[in-house]
Amino acid sequence: MGVKRIQAVSVNMKDGSKVDLTGDAAHSVYARYAAYQNGNVGAQEGVTYKDDTGKVQMMRFDCICGITLGDTTEQTIPDPACDPMNCLPD
């Protein structure tokens, strides 16, 4: 049985903002962030993706405070080391 393809995620950023991704971008960011969180050797520390307008964006994983799949908090990948108060812009 293969890995279920992720269709939509909400990426919670440490500055309090949220980025909603769908399709290939959602799956790519989710899979790479999971590898990063698991401490996999060679895991990327960020990812580039195309947003809904087709523009290429860059996302660094150390700026993420967790990812939510769909609307359920049970499916969130939390970041236990994340303290949003330490990441707010001055």
> Which tens digit of pLDDT belongs to each residue from 2-58?
556 778 888 888 878 888 888 888 888 888 988 888 888 888 888 888 877 888 888
In the predicted structure, residue 82 carries a pLDDT above the cut 70: no
pLDDT value, residue 88: 47
Q: What is the pTM of this model?
A: 0.68
How many C-alpha atoms does 29 have within 13 Å on its Cβ side? Answer: 32
Tokens of 18: 């949220």
Residue type at 19 in one-letter notation: V
d(C-alpha 49, C-alpha 65), whole Å: 18
Domains of the chain, with CATH numbers? Answer: 8-80 (2.30.30)
Helix (H, G, I), strand (E, B) or coil at 26: helix
Token pair listed for 82: 């994340």
